[in-house]
């Protein structure tokens, strides 16, 4: 699958706080969040999730959006998991 990167942000230089992170999440219909080997998938179109539910998955302990974060189509990938990225790249 061919993907075009339209924007990159260096997370070490540009911090994305809760308000901006939730705005980014609103662009997605699905969130795939990886923490260690655990992958959590939220279907934002099908199920109702609170801002707190979403923030718990996408925000780091410093109060910034976790890295890496990738918005591909209508799916927001947060955190790194090799299997999730393999599915994205296939």
Query: What is the value of pTM for the model shown?
Result: 0.86
Residues 62-80 pLDDT 10s: 999 999 998 888 889 999 8
State the pLDDT at residue 18. Answer: 97
Look at residues 13, 44, 45 and name the one whose alpha carbon lies nearest to residue 58.
Answer: 44
Domain boundaries defined on the chain: 18-81
Which residues, at least 6 apart from 41, have a Cβ–Cβ distance to it below 8 Å?
A: 30, 31, 32, 33
Residues 12-48 pLDDT 10s: 788 999 999 999 999 999 999 999 889 999 999 998 9
Distance CA 11, CA 19 (A): 16
Is the pLDDT at 90 greater than 80? The verdict is: no
């Amino acid at each position: 699958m061919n993907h075009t990167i339209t924007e990159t942000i260096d997370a070490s230089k540009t911090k994305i706080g809760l308000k901006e992170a939730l705005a980014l999440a609103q662009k997605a219909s699905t969130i795939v969040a990886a923490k260690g080997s655990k992958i959590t998938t939220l279907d934002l179109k099908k199920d109702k999730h609170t801002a707190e539910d979403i923030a718990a998955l996408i925000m780091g302990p410093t109060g910034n959006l976790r890295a890496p974060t990738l918005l591909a189509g209508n799916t927001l990938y947060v955190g790194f998991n090799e299997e999730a990225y393999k599915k994205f790249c296939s």
